[in-house]
């Protein structure tokens, strides 16, 4: 499978002969990246804000999943799990849905705008997580400290950070923290950076948790 990052919390997940998923497409006017031009069979939206819910950016008449449940579309198994990503006291803030994708036995968990550390029982509900797409830059999602706590609970094989400050993210409504702050909390001075993550199968996953940074990709040819 291949995972490509288009900035903020937007990824494309692909695997030959299986459905293509795009997560949290954004309105570029709200986040500052280039306009999205993507195609997908499935779009997941973690919560209803313009930085995460811009369905118009994705062509192909995709299936929309924007809440909890269990789904099987095009050979991909998807589980949506509600989290109170925002505090119960702030009823006007959108609820957050975590999405777990199963691509031929490789599990990918997209945490959306989760902003609290889940309980051990909640983590157990996810089952084994091979790849975690984790917000690390605050701005409504986890900050660097909380992100490292969540990672220690999930114990994924691979962590891909998202939702952090970059030179291209010029219009975010809430200030984001830089990636370097998260790497420091993880005890890293740098991390492997690749254009996209490509895996042949589950056997190619690392044994110990590894942080891999994806380079921001413009989607004009996506």
Asked whether 1 and 15 are in contact (CB, 8 A), the reply is yes
The pLDDT tens digits of the residues spanning 128-147 come to 999 999 999 988 889 999 99
The pLDDT tens digits of the residues spanning 151-193 come to 999 999 999 999 999 988 876 667 899 999 999 999 999 899 9
- Say which CATH topology domain 2-214 has: Metallo-beta-lactamase; Chain A (3.60.15)
% of the chain beyond a pLDDT of 70: 92
Query: Could you give phi then psi for residue 213, rounded to 5 degrees?
Result: -95, 130
Whole-number Å distance between alpha carbons of 48 and 179: 25
Prediction pTM value: 0.93
Distances (CA, A) of 191 to 180, 212, 215, 221: 10, 6, 12, 27
């Amino acid at each position: 499978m291949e995972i490509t990052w288009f900035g903020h919390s937007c990824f494309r997940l692909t695997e030959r002969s299986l459905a293509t998923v795009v997560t949290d497409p954004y309105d570029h006017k709200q986040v500052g990246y280039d306009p999205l031009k993507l195609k997908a069979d499935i779009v997941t939206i973690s919560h209803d804000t313009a930085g995460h819910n811009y369905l118009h950016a994705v062509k192909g008449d995709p299936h929309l999943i924007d809440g909890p449940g269990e789904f099987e579309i095009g050979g991909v198994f998807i589980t949506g799990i509600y989290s109170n990503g925002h505090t119960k006291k702030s009823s006007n803030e959108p609820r957050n849905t975590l999405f777990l994708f199963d691509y031929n036995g490789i599990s990918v968990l997209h945490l959306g705008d989760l902003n609290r550390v889940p309980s051990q029982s909640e983590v157990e509900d996810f089952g084994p997580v091979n790849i975690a797409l984790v917000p690390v830059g605050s701005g409504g999602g986890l900050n660097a400290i909380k992100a490292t706590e969540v990672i220690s609970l999930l114990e994924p094989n691979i962590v891909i950070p998202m939702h952090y400050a970059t030179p291209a993210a010029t219009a975010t409504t809430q200030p984001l923290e830089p990636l370097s702050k998260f790497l420091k909390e993880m005890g890293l001075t740098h991390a492997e950076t690749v254009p996209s993550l490509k895996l042949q199968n589950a056997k190619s996953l690392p044994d110990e948790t590894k942080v891999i940074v994806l380079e921001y990709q413009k989607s004009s040819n996506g």
